[in-house]
Amino acid sequence: MPDTLRTETEAGVRSIVLARPEAYNTITPRLRDELARAIDDADADPDVRVILLRADGPAFCAGYGLDWSTEMQAEESTSDRVWDSAMDMRVMSTFVDTYMKLWYATKPTIAAVHGWCIAGGTDMVLCADMVIAGEGASFGYPPSRVWGAPTTAMWVYRLGFERAKRYLLTGDEIPAREAADVGLILECVPDDDLLDRATALARRMARVPVNQLQMLKLLCNQTAENMGLSSSRTLGTLFDGIARHTQEGRDFVTRATEAGFRQAVRERDDPFGDYGSRRRTDG
């Protein structure tokens, strides 16, 4: 049985629920594998017409589990071989291929987001066909400041060139309302209405014959494919590995090893005053 997620099916909608609330649903190899199987199973099930991705706990997904990923990179320093970019690409592609299952699934995929959805969490969720967020949700790609690049490259296809650059070249936090206003996500709703709104939209779509849903999704997605989505994704995945092995990226891992990854992240974001380093005011 999966231990990182659970699934539910009702009225033609398969809900895939990330279920590591105590860890803010951070991404691990186990979650990657279980999510891949869950999406494949939903796409193959004739009783399912729409896939709804949501999460338990205070956050949708706070990115990769930095404890295991920084430790994995730190271990490279004890190896008698230099960093292998081809091996890194193969490993990261196993994660990216899972996220892209939301995009390439023949059936529509909707994500209902609350709380944090940042870093690798955005690599995942922006592959869904539609994203609905509660007003308390926040998006962003803080690793663009150091130690990462967005692997799936969906930012450009959702936002266009200038807005994608504006957020990626700063790594700034994006509140859900702003994310909806600029087109990163479909809409922002009151937190208490999130599940009802996302479920209602999924069930409304599920009234349409599945072959119609499949044809129309493919028609829309093909535009992004014609714009070079596959090559952008390849470059994003490659650059992510390179960013983790620049001098600054290596220094970040060293600091995370010495002081803990939470402190390293805090020091990265403190100058910007957002995410966990958001400045608080009295009153």
Quick one: tokens of 11? Answer: 């009225």
The pTM of the full predicted model, rounded to 2 decimals, is 0.95
DSSP string, the chain: --SSEEEEEETTEEEEEE--GGGTT-B-HHHHHHHHHHHHHHHH-TT--EEEEEE-SS-SB-SB-HHHHHHHHHHHTTSSS---HHHHHHHHHHHHHHHHHHHHSSS-EEEEE-SEEETHHHHHHTTSSEEEEETT-EEE-GGGTTT---SS-HHHHHH-HHHHHHHHTTT--EEHHHHHHHTSSSEEE-GGGHHHHHHHHHHHHTTS-HHHHHHHHHHHHHHHHHTTHHHHHHHHHHHHHHHTTSHHHHHHHHHHHHH-HHHHHHHHHGGGT-GGG------
pLDDT at residue 83, as a whole number: 92
Nearest to 266 by CA among 170, 155, 148, 142: 142
pLDDT at 278: 81
**Which pLDDT score, from 0 to 100, does residue 279 have?**
63
pLDDT tens digits in sequence order for the chain, 283 residues long: 899 999 999 999 999 999 999 999 999 999 999 999 999 999 999 999 999 999 999 999 999 987 767 777 777 777 888 899 999 999 999 999 999 999 999 999 999 999 999 999 999 999 999 999 999 999 999 999 999 999 999 999 999 999 999 999 999 999 999 999 999 999 999 999 999 999 999 999 999 999 999 999 999 999 999 999 999 999 999 999 999 999 999 999 999 989 998 899 999 999 999 999 986 543 3
Give the pLDDT score at 210: 98
